[in-house]
Structure 1
Amino acid sequence: MTVKEQQSGVWQSERRLTAIARAGLSAPARQALVDQQITFETSVLDYGCGRGGDVTALTGMDVRASGWDPHFHPDGALEPADVVLLTYVLNIIEDPEERRHALDAAWNLAQNVLVASTRLSWERSKVKGAEFGDGVLTSRRTFQHLFGASELRAYVEDVTGVRCVSAAPGIVYAFKRDEHRLSFLARRINPAFAWLESDDAGSAIAAVVDQTEQRGRIPRLEEMPGQMTELLAHLSASQLQRLVRTSADPEKVAEGVKRSTLATLLFLGVELFNGRGPFSCLPLSVQLDVRAFFSSYKEACARADRLLLKLRDDSYIRGAMSSSKVGKLTPTALYVHRRAVDLMPVVLRLYEHCASIAAGRPADWTVVKLRHQGRGVSWLDYPEFDSDPHPRLKTSYMVELSTLKTSFTSYEDSTNRPLLHRKHEFLAPDDPDVPKYRRLTESEIRAGLYENPHLIGTEQGWEAELRRCGRDLRGHRLVRRG
């Protein structure tokens, strides 16, 4: 390409070459299924579907899906759908105005939610080519504009005019209605308690009692599974309430009240961070929690606002980390295993959720790192945490909350990966694996393996200390080296 062609603005890239044949669902389509944005009841349009892999896979799952692509499927029907997928389209368009037009066209076709996804800036090393415009031009005449994770969310918000949610790194949801956005947030932040199975009136009443103890309030009929309402149809509302009140454990109900109050504050805090809507847009369960546990919606919002402001207070965050019953506290951060994050103080859960809404929480992670010096969240993936006595770090994804900049590091090809020690400290005290992990740590301390803590943080350093101390590992047991 000549300089004259670049300056003329008429050049078109070979976009068709970026379309790949998929054996299964793309990551954005899979994420939308996991998040219940795509269901058997929704219609799906894949806008810029390429070779149509997602359409084929979704259709095979009995989802009503169709696709359109200017090269591979130009005759596809461009009709409105509940869910519109815009999968790795924005990053291959070299003309910023055309890129914006494509996003706007997909948004206008979405009736419930637009799922927009792009390649991200940390993939730059994989894209070989020269700088061109606001991206990279490859030798195959394809173009890539690599987005930052928070940049993508801000870009979609700018074009659509609505508050968006980062579902995962490089995947953004734009909802047509606030009710849909808030319902998604509610499911992600405070998943509903599972109902006990019921096949007669007695077991149905026991299930309502269990829900009351979990939630701290008696659930409304509208919140119950359909079969449950049929089994309880012979009881009036007052009769059911009387039966539940006499059967429920007061101490468990009190714990449920505390749990639901904090959960509601967490949701409202995240809602403010993402853009607060009117009370009528809240999911029914959240509305009922507000009425049950607060004097008014205004009071609940005020308390949530104060909680959100606490994120700026270094001493408060450090105090919350010090008082946390779960996690490993270091001079710079708190590290908590995925199984224990819901047991952190509510302000720390809010901290992690705000980062995930801003730039997306990765699908694969094991330990979350919350910095108390500055505001940053990292999701660390140790795939062999349960089986390896000292699991190796595979990937790290970090969000800087002050700037919303993100970074991603892969250690898969490293010959000296970071690894973990004292695994029990990352978990809740009552986790069933804690005794086994603690016994290993105690035996390693007795053997002198932790005398040089600055050496043992990587594979090579740890192996050198094992040799020095004449020890080896068999599973989660420390043995003398033969």
Structure 2
Amino acid sequence: MDATKFNQLVSSVPLGKKLPEAIYLHKDCFPELDNSLTQFILAVGSALKIDPNEWHIVKLSRNEFRLSLLSYPTFFTEAYPSLTQSVTVDLNKLSHRIVDYKDSDNPPILHRKETMLPAQHECFDEFKAITEEGENAGLYQNSRMIGFKQSWLRTIEAHGYTLVDGRLFRSSAVIDQSNTTVTSIDRHKTAIVRHELSAPMKQLAKQGYLNGEHTIFDYGCGRGDDLTELEAHGLDALGWDPNFRPEAEKVKSDLVNIGFVINVIEDKVERDEALLGAWELTEKLLVVSAMLANDKFISQFTPYKDGVITSINTFQKYYAQSELKGYIERTLDENAIAIAPGIFYLFKDKLEEQRFLSGRFKRHHSWKQLTTPTPTSEEQARLLFTKHHNLLNRFWDKCLELGRLPALEEFTETPEIIAAIGNAKKALKLLLQVQGEQATKVFEAAIATRREDLLVYFALCQFEQHKGYTHLPNELKRDIKVFFDTYKVAQAEAKTLLYRIANTQEIEQACIEAHQILPASKLNDGHSLELHKQFLPLLPALLRVYVGAAVQLYGELDEIDIVKIHITSGKVSFMGYDNFDTSPLPTLRERIKVKMWQLDVDFFDYVDEHSRPPLINKHLLLTSTDETYKKQLSFDKRLSKLLGLNEHDNVFMSKCEFDSKLLMLNKKIIGFTIKSVT
């Protein structure tokens, strides 16, 4: 069997737990599969001399020629069975890797077991009931946090439940918080087994820092799973850990990560020393991360020093976002940049800091390519353009990106431009001449856009420590000269823009203008403007600074769908919905309110699925070109009429309340259809 045939057969598998990258199946599903796929899976196991009774689940890759044979010996006897061994087979490379979890105190575990069995299986209904118990208890809200045994048990405990014979029951035991006597802390138990990069490392990858150009040191690397993955990609990565790699050398590196370390150190002095030690090793960028939690969550544990003791005798110091930022900055006397909840960047290389911040607020353009020469009397110019068509198109793209002529190091093909045209200035003139008036308008728009991007960047830099002109990277110095003449002018204009975010009248007017130009948004007169995060770069500069200030306090918006700009209260709300892209009635999963005047962030988690407010009239936040827009609009009109609502009514009710209203009206929703209950 080849890769093409394998992928075709996997694509046609009619059942199983289907994830974007793979399908999980119990062997009891094999009679439902194409016989050739079943025989191939069994043949792979036989070739590796794996006893068929020693594995129970097969994981089939949906994108690669790869499968895994997974051992879950307690699949039918435990509600959430643990993985004891995995055998991953790369059929392209004809290689395999065995990972043993028998002695692990935190092995991967299975959820939703019924999805891995045929619907007619005798255990299907029992397993489905177990899953529904977990859903009703709100345990599946953060899928990234429940894949391993200890984090799953902590999630169960945090939601007020306990496992009895594998089933969920409300916790009846009361923690004796008067007993704070602790003889020793098992720090080593906090080091989990990872099967993908940690959140801080994923952020580094996202920002382009794991491209092979930087040395990396993981301070407090635990079992070293991040290092293993980085090394597999050929990256220069080293690490040290007091429990698992105590003999390793602490090495100065470009990038240093101290990931979820300070929150497990119970001694304050030692905690400070760890953070200072990581900073001492940093050449360019330090990444600091720690666990976040609210008071309600923390109150479930036994207090100890300035943190708590967990059920497995580990210490945890949980932070609020602003508290963590303050602690880092007080300890290191450096500016901490929020990247995500619980993750901060601190740059020792200040030029690199400016490059990062500048790129963070730069819009990415998709200008329409102008490549067809228009008729002109200057035949020589047209022939020259045609002769060097591809080169000039690449040069044009760079000019549009920068809003100006590129310097020699900013466009690697400048020598070819000089040889063909004479110099960069002549090349731009030729492009504008041959492509006509439309090209001139496009270039003028690029100039205005880049200047505005820089103003937003310099305005948001006012939140950080002042950077002198000499400390700016060369590309920014060129931008200043072209767009502002001097750094002093750029700073003055940026401060004026920043101070304007306190003017509620200007904010309101900007929201009105934005509502008119955005592809989709919802304006609540005098109160707020709501929009999808994809439209943030299209906002006027004033609102980009307004939201940008909130982002600096909160971090990246990876899990966020909708942004609400509050007009009069100096607040910005970030909202994440379940299945926003696919559901006609997505429900609110989390809401973050950034109070800029107080420099504080409030987190609101809708843990109970039934308490999650549904998003009414979602079409207001979609573009008319969205593939689901027409269906959504039709659905919203029918639903609003049924509930007696106007299109712009602000409706905020729980899913339970919403379902009750539908029930009273004898209606139910299936997909985009509203049906009568029979």
TM-score, shorter chain, exceeding 0.5: yes
**Structure 1 stretch displaced more, 367-376 or 431-440:** 431-440
> Which residue number in structure 1 is paired with residue 337 of structure 2?
165
> Which residue number in structure 2 is paired with residue 119 of structure 1?
291
- 1:77 aligned counterpart, secondary structure: coil
Give 1:359-370 correspondences, 5 Å limit.
359-370=554-565
Distance 2:348 2:451 in 1: 29
In the superposition, relative to structure 1, how do residues 455 and 213 fare at CA in structure 2: closer, same or farther (>3 Å)?
closer
> Which residue number in structure 2 is paired with residue 339 of structure 1?
534
Distance 1:75 1:233 in 2: 56
State which of 303, 323, 329 in structure 1 corresponds to 2:523: 329
Residues 610 and 654 in structure 2, CA contact (< 8 A), matched pair in contact too: no
Distance 2:189 2:228 in 1: 20
In the superposition, relative to structure 1, how do residues 384 and 266 fare at CA in structure 2: closer, same or farther (>3 Å)?
same
Deviations, residues 337-363 of structure 1 (Å, cap 9, x unaligned)? 012111122111112211222232342
**Alignment of 1:348 onto 2:538:** no
1:280, distance to aligned residue in structure 2 (A): 3.5
> Which residue number in structure 1 is paired with residue 317 of structure 2?
145
Residues 84 and 113 in structure 1, CA contact (< 8 A), matched pair in contact too: yes
- Tell me the TM-score normalised to structure 2 length: 0.64
> Which residue number in structure 2 is paired with residue 154 of structure 1?
326
State which of 555, 573, 576 in structure 2 corresponds to 1:381: 576
Give 1:205-216 correspondences, 5 Å limit.
205-213=392-400, 215-216=402-403
In the superposition, relative to structure 1, how do residues 85 and 293 fare at CA in structure 2: closer, same or farther (>3 Å)?
same
> Which residue number in structure 1 is paired with residue 465 of structure 2?
275
In the superposition, relative to structure 1, how do residues 14 and 479 fare at CA in structure 2: closer, same or farther (>3 Å)?
closer
Q: Percent identity?
A: 28
Distance 2:666 2:537 in 1: 40
Residues 367 and 381 in structure 1, CA contact (< 8 A), matched pair in contact too: yes
Cα root mean square deviation, aligned: 3.3
> Which residue number in structure 2 is paired with residue 243 of structure 1?
430
Distance 2:237 2:401 in 1: 39
- 1:179 aligned counterpart, secondary structure: helix
1:407, distance to aligned residue in structure 2 (A): 2.6
State which of 422, 425, 431 in structure 1 corresponds to 2:617: 422
Deviations, residues 292-326 of structure 1 (Å, cap 9, x unaligned)? 22232211211110111112222222222222233
> Which residue number in structure 1 is paired with residue 417 of structure 2?
232
**Alignment of 1:406 onto 2:578:** no
**Alignment of 1:220 onto 2:407:** yes
Residues 624 and 630 in structure 2, CA contact (< 8 A), matched pair in contact too: no
- 2:609 aligned counterpart, secondary structure: coil
Deviations, residues 183-237 of structure 1 (Å, cap 9, x unaligned)? 11122110555798x9x9411202322443454323333222x3x4465352332
- 1:234 aligned counterpart, secondary structure: helix
Larger relative contact order (Cα-Cα within 8 Å, sequence gap ≥ 6): 1
Distance 1:77 1:144 in 2: 26
Residues 208 and 218 in structure 1, CA contact (< 8 A), matched pair in contact too: no
What is the letter of the counterpart of residue 449 of structure 2? R
Residues 355 and 399 in structure 1, CA contact (< 8 A), matched pair in contact too: yes
Residues 124 and 146 in structure 1, CA contact (< 8 A), matched pair in contact too: no
State which of 397, 419, 431 in structure 1 corresponds to 2:592: 397
> Which residue number in structure 1 is paired with residue 301 of structure 2?
129
What is the letter of the counterpart of residue 104 of structure 1? L
Residues 215 and 259 in structure 1, CA contact (< 8 A), matched pair in contact too: no
In the superposition, relative to structure 1, how do residues 141 and 472 fare at CA in structure 2: closer, same or farther (>3 Å)?
closer
State which of 439, 445, 452 in structure 2 corresponds to 1:262: 452
Distance 1:70 1:448 in 2: 61
**Structure 1 stretch displaced more, 423-432 or 110-119:** 423-432
In the superposition, relative to structure 1, how do residues 230 and 49 fare at CA in structure 2: closer, same or farther (>3 Å)?
same
What is the letter of the counterpart of residue 510 of structure 2? A
> Which residue number in structure 2 is paired with residue 319 of structure 1?
509
Give 1:450-461 correspondences, 5 Å limit.
450=645, 457-461=653-657
> Which residue number in structure 1 is paired with residue 167 of structure 2?
none
State which of 234, 238, 246 in structure 2 corresponds to 1:62: 234
Give 1:98-109 correspondences, 5 Å limit.
98-109=270-281
**Structure 1 stretch displaced more, 393-402 or 94-103:** 393-402
**Alignment of 1:307 onto 2:502:** no
- Tell me the TM-score normalised to structure 1 length: 0.89
Residues 392 and 420 in structure 1, CA contact (< 8 A), matched pair in contact too: yes
1:245, distance to aligned residue in structure 2 (A): 3.4
In the superposition, relative to structure 1, how do residues 438 and 262 fare at CA in structure 2: closer, same or farther (>3 Å)?
farther
Gaps of 5+ in 2: 1-177, 372-386
- 2:227 aligned counterpart, secondary structure: helix
In the superposition, relative to structure 1, how do residues 392 and 139 fare at CA in structure 2: closer, same or farther (>3 Å)?
closer
State which of 471, 477, 482 in structure 2 corresponds to 1:287: 477
1:159, distance to aligned residue in structure 2 (A): 2.3
Distance 1:4 1:425 in 2: 54
Gaps of 5+ in 1: none
In the superposition, relative to structure 1, how do residues 432 and 319 fare at CA in structure 2: closer, same or farther (>3 Å)?
farther
Distance 1:362 1:454 in 2: 24
Distance 1:374 1:191 in 2: 27
Residues 120 and 170 in structure 1, CA contact (< 8 A), matched pair in contact too: yes
In the superposition, relative to structure 1, how do residues 78 and 203 fare at CA in structure 2: closer, same or farther (>3 Å)?
same
1:424, distance to aligned residue in structure 2 (A): 2.8
Residues 358 and 454 in structure 2, CA contact (< 8 A), matched pair in contact too: no
Distance 2:664 2:482 in 1: 62
Residues 123 and 146 in structure 1, CA contact (< 8 A), matched pair in contact too: no
> Which residue number in structure 2 is paired with residue 462 of structure 1?
658
**Structure 1 stretch displaced more, 348-357 or 469-478:** 469-478
What is the letter of the counterpart of residue 460 of structure 1? C
Distance 2:491 2:556 in 1: 25
Distance 1:123 1:165 in 2: 24
1:403, distance to aligned residue in structure 2 (A): 2.3
In the superposition, relative to structure 1, how do residues 462 and 60 fare at CA in structure 2: closer, same or farther (>3 Å)?
same
Residues 209 and 247 in structure 1, CA contact (< 8 A), matched pair in contact too: no
Residues 336 and 346 in structure 2, CA contact (< 8 A), matched pair in contact too: yes
Distance 2:590 2:179 in 1: 43
In the superposition, relative to structure 1, how do residues 346 and 62 fare at CA in structure 2: closer, same or farther (>3 Å)?
same
Residues 553 and 601 in structure 2, CA contact (< 8 A), matched pair in contact too: no
How many equivalent residue pairs? 477
1:451, distance to aligned residue in structure 2 (A): 6.2
1:11, distance to aligned residue in structure 2 (A): 6.7
In the superposition, relative to structure 1, how do residues 442 and 283 fare at CA in structure 2: closer, same or farther (>3 Å)?
farther
In the superposition, relative to structure 1, how do residues 213 and 70 fare at CA in structure 2: closer, same or farther (>3 Å)?
closer
- 2:587 aligned counterpart, secondary structure: coil
**Alignment of 1:298 onto 2:509:** no
In the superposition, relative to structure 1, how do residues 341 and 424 fare at CA in structure 2: closer, same or farther (>3 Å)?
farther
